[in-house]
Structures are given as structure tokens and as C-alpha cells.
Amino acid sequence: MTEQTDDSRSPYLEVRLHRLSPLPPVLTGILISALLYALYLLYSVEVGQPIIEQTNGSVGFNNAAWAALVICLIFGVATTMPAITQRQWQASLPQLKAVLDEKGRLQVEAMATGPSRKHSWRSLLAFLAGAAGGVLVNLWLLNPPNLSWSEYWSTISPFFAIMNAVVFGLAARGGYMVRYEDREMRELVETHLQVDLAHLERNQIFGRLALRGALAWLVMTAVILLLFVDSTPAPISATALVLALIASGYAFASTIGPVVRKCSAVRDAALQSVREQITASGDAALKGAPGGAPLSELIAYENWLEKLPVWPISAPVTRRLALYGFIPVLAWFGSAAAELVLNRFT
């Protein structure tokens, strides 16, 4: 049954589309956001929606233009994250296979390919559910009141109606993907991870994968923070920000958590065994009977086990994680710099 599921795996749609681009995923994502925003600008000109306006003696983006920019960036990040994740998995396969048993090596190759057909359909259902929520939010908060349909289509609102549905759908699908990948990672580690207490540094590959997963969601958090710069409805901005932060922490913890638990269990079992040997050797020494290993060696081994770090996080990963925490803050500086440039050259 497992083999059939693995054979039916395929990459996500956006991963297949990214493969058609000659550019790296990050540059492709930036290009997608830029083209989408260019479409908004053209539409704005068509319906007479201002893009840059002057208020209180300062020049800045129109609220709608700024919100559209952020939404286009969110779309670019959301559609690029799966492509980056798969590249990271492919690059990490040799290190992952080194710490897994034979079945685990086959499973991790399948995970690097993409989700099973069943979960691809479920992710589509999650997207549709999120898109439906986006339509409802758009009707509730974002549409101008008391507009007829003919007047509605002559405003910028249809752009936001479509993009909100798509972005909400991608958010729901992203949440499902995180949960699905968490279950797969937990099963992989609990069932197939081979813990070698003398070489726990090999497990640091899981720490690097966790860091990269958290980085993608921290970038999303930084983009969402830009929504607070202007008058985007607070309920939408705050909810999106909280969910992105939760996803970032969850993506990091769900990758290293099973590894920590598995390594801790193996270390605790070894500690229990050596302590039983210490007790037996001590009793034998008191009785004058010949013992097994020297008591001093057993005590030294116990001390080594007690100090053994089970977290698969190296010092460079810790430093990077601390630096990545500043990524959302940079969004504020970026928005301030944009306003300064506009005021300087207009």
C-alpha cells in the first residue's frame, strides 16, 4: 500500500511551473510579483484609480496601490515557497539518507518528489475552502458600499476580489501542507531514524531543514507586516500576521521536535543501561566478586551521556535563526525607505 502511494507522488503545480523558468525560484517569484503588480497598475490607469498621491505635504502610495503591492508579494512568496522547499529536500537527500535505515531512504526520496495524489486532492480542497473564505471577507470588508454592478466593475475592487480569493486559498492550502509535512516528518523520524550517539552531529541536517522552513514563513511574515503601513483592515492584517508567525514556529518545531524526542529516548535508554551496570559493578566490588567493565569507565561513560546534546542545531544554525528574527523588522525600514524615495524624487 505504501509503495503504491509513493509511486503516485508528484510535485505541486507551482513547483512544476517553476521548473519551466530558467531563473532560480527566488528570482522567478520576484518576477511573478512584478508582473502581477504591473497588471494592477495597468488596470488602475484604465479605471482612473490613483497610484501615488499627496497628503499633508508628503507623497506616498495610494492605500489601494500599497495593498495591491503587498498582495502581489504575498502571492509571489506563497507560490515560490514549495519550489524552494523541494530544492532544499533534493539537496539534503545525501545527508538524510546517511541517518536513515533502508526503508527510510526510500521514503525520504518519495517525500522529496512531492505529495501523494490523495494529499494533492486534499490540498486542492483546502485551497477552494480558503478561496471561499476570501470571497466572503471581500464582500464583508473590502467592497465599496452602495455600488451597482456596473459601477463595481469600473473600480479597482474586482482585482482585490480575485486576488483575495487566491491568496486566502493559498494560505489555507499552505496550512494544510505544513500539517501534512509535519505528519510525514514525524513518521519518518520515529520509524526510520538511526540514532548513533557517537555521531549526533549527523542529525544537524534536520536543524538546517527546520531553519529553511521557518525562513520561508518569516519572509511571508515580513511581507504581511507591510499591510500595517497603510489602512488595510486591521482584522485581516492581524489575523494574517498571527497565522504566519504560528506557521513559522510550527514549521521549525515540527521538524526538529521528533528528532529531539527520538535522540532523547535513545540517550535515556543508554543512561539507564549504564547506571544498571554501575550498580551491578559496585555491588560486585563490595562483595569482592569479579566485575565487568571498570567502574571508573562506566562513570565516565555516564557523564558523557549526560552532557550529550540531543538538539540537532549547530552554532551556525542558532546564529542564523537569531538573524532571521530580524527579517520582519526590515519590512518597516523598506516601507520607510520607499516613502523617502517618493518624497525625494517627486
Pick from 77, 65, 33: nearest CA to 342: 65
Instruction: For residue 57, count CB atoms less than 10 angstroms from its CB and return exposed for 0-12, middle for 13-18, buried for 19 or more.
Output: exposed
Q: Is 27 among the domain residues?
A: yes
User: 104-149: per-residue pLDDT in tens?
Assistant: 999 998 888 888 888 889 999 999 999 998 888 777 765 556 666 6
Q: Is 260 among the domain residues?
A: no
Q: Is 22 among the domain residues?
A: yes
Rounded-to-integer distance, Cα 299 and Cα 268, Å: 15
The SS3 assignment for 59 reads strand
Mean pLDDT of the chain: 80
Examine the pLDDT at 327 and tell me if it is beyond 70: no
Pick from 306, 309, 179: nearest CA to 253: 179
Q: Is 295 among the domain residues?
A: no
Q: Is 306 among the domain residues?
A: no
Q: Is 28 among the domain residues?
A: yes
Examine the pLDDT at 335 and tell me if it is beyond 70: no
| Maximum Cα–Cα distance across the chain | 100
Distances in Å between the Cα of 230 and the Cα atoms of 50, 147, 155 are 15, 24, 19
Instruction: State percent of the chain over pLDDT 70.
Output: 76
Question: Residue 22 is part of which domain span?
Answer: 2-252+314-345
How many domains would you assign to the chain?
1
Compute and round to an integer the Cα radius of gyration of the chain.
26
pLDDT on residue 4: 40
Examine the pLDDT at 292 and tell me if it is beyond 60: no
Distances in Å between the Cα of 16 and the Cα atoms of 179, 267, 300, 309 are 22, 42, 54, 39
User: 5-15: per-residue pLDDT in tens?
Assistant: 445 888 888 88
Examine the pLDDT at 311 and tell me if it is beyond 80: yes
User: 172-223: per-residue pLDDT in tens?
Assistant: 898 888 888 888 888 999 899 999 988 888 898 888 888 877 877 777 777 7
**Contact present, 177 and 220 (Cβ < 8 Å):** no
Q: Is 324 among the domain residues?
A: yes
Rounded-to-integer distance, Cα 232 and Cα 230, Å: 6
Q: Is 291 among the domain residues?
A: no
Q: Can you read off the three cell numbers belonging to residue 218?
A: 518569516
Rounded-to-integer distance, Cα 80 and Cα 86, Å: 10
Rounded-to-integer distance, Cα 241 and Cα 227, Å: 9
User: 13-66: per-residue pLDDT in tens?
Assistant: 888 889 899 999 889 999 999 999 999 999 998 888 877 776 666 666 677 888
